[in-house]
């Protein structure tokens, strides 16, 4: 699954900052040739990221400006990567938005925009990257961005969670269809990560950002909030040859011990709503039937 002079060729969408940027830096460090993407409004940030990648890894990333919700722009990005770098081996469909607020306040335009970016964008990236990978005949890796909110619905995050659940279903279905071509399809499901998007989400619902981040850290089994590099470490594995037998999975990069303590999220005013858990209410012992 690699180009002759590197680990392969990877395109990371939404990679001007945050998790996407960390993934791009990590994959470049792993030996991949890198293409980075974001919307036109983030062109300057994208150029700064390109410079940082080169300083840190010695690799010059290809910049592909485009909106993942627009089909022709996604096709154009893939074509540009193939033309400039020689193919594509890894597609990281990272681009996304995080709308927050009560469900009854969500407008239809907001609903459709979130699904356009988060779900349609992932679908288009999977579709056109896989078509190129199939044509190349050397397999590949498709990697999507779900979320902890894509495994459990969260208060004030109904729209966002809906899109992230959809990405998990899309990822599982794509894995079944593309496996015969040597293409694996997986997604990563971060919990709270200290990024600009998470900080903005806290502000959008009137929360104290620092209190929210502190609350996240207290919920963590290791006592800290995640950072973008934590997610990049997981994606590094999913993009590597070592993950060739892993497909259709959504790997969590969080540590809130969700199987033991179910956390029902946070109203961003500094309060955490904790549901009943197995720790507080252990299951009753089974009684064997009398003989």
Q: Which helix (H) or strand (E) holds 111?
A: helix 108-115
189 pLDDT tier (thresholds 50, 70, 90) = very high
- Residues in CB range of 160: below 8 A, 6 or more apart: 98, 99, 100, 114, 118, 147, 149, 154
Per residue in 209-264, pLDDT tens?
Answer: 788 778 777 777 888 888 999 999 999 999 999 999 999 999 875 554 443 232 33
Of 23, 156, 174, which Cα lies nearest the Cα of 95?
23
Spatial separation of the C-alpha atoms in residues 16 and 47, rounded to whole Å: 8
Provide mean pLDDT across the span 19-29. Answer: 98
Report the CATH architecture of 8-257. 3-Layer(aba) Sandwich (3.40)
| Residue 240 near residue 253, CB atoms below 8 Å | no
- Beta strands across the sheet bearing 140-145: 62-65, 32-38, 8-12, 90-93, 140-145, 183-190, 250-253
Active-site positions? Answer: 160, 164
Spatial separation of the C-alpha atoms in residues 153 and 244, rounded to whole Å: 30
Q: Identify the pLDDT of residue 191.
A: 79
Which one is predicted more confidently, 194 or 2? Answer: 194
Q: Identify the pLDDT of residue 265.
A: 33
Q: Identify the pLDDT of residue 1.
A: 57
Domain-wise residue ranges, the chain: 8-257
Global pTM value: 0.83
59 pLDDT tier (thresholds 50, 70, 90) = very high
**Mean pLDDT estimate for the chain:** 86
Provide mean pLDDT across the span 71-94. Answer: 99
Provide mean pLDDT across the span 50-78. Answer: 98
- List the end-to-end C-alpha distance of the chain, in Å, as a whole number: 60
Q: Identify the pLDDT of residue 257.
A: 43
């Amino acid at each position: 699954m690699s180009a002759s002079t590197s680990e392969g060729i990877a395109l990371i969408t939404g990679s001007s900052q945050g998790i996407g940027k960390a993934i791009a830096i990590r994959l470049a460090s792993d030996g991949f040739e890198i293409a980075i993407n974001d919307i036109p409004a983030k062109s300057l940030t994208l150029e700064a990221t390109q410079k940082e990648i080169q300083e840190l890894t010695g690799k010059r990333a290809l910049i592909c400006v485009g909106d993942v919700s627009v089909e022709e722009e996604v096709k154009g990005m893939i074509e540009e990567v193939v033309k400039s770098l020689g193919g594509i081996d890894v597609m990281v469909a990272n681009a996304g938005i995080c709308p927050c607020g009560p469900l009854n306040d969500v407008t239809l335009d907001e609903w459709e925009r979130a699904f356009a970016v988060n779900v349609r964008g992932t679908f288009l990236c999977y579709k056109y990257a896989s078509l190129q990978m199939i044509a190349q005949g050397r397999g590949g890796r498709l990697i999507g961005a779900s979320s902890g909110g894509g495994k459990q619905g969260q208060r004030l995050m109904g729209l966002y969670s809906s899109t992230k659940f959809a990405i998990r279903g899309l990822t599982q279905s794509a894995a079944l269809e593309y496996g015969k071509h040597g293409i694996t399809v997986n997604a990563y499901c971060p919990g709270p990560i200290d990024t600009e998007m998470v900080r903005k989400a806290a502000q959008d619902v009137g929360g104290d950002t620092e209190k929210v981040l502190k609350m996240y850290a207290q919920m963590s089994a290791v006592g800290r909030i995640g950072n973008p590099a934590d997610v990049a470490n997981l994606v590094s594995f999913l993009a590597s040859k070592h993950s060739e037998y892993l497909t259709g999975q959504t790997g969590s990069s969080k540590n809130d011990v969700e199987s033991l303590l179910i956390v029902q999220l946070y109203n961003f005013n500094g309060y955490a709503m904790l549901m009943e858990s197995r720790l507080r209410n252990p299951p009753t012992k089974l009684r064997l039937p009398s003989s």
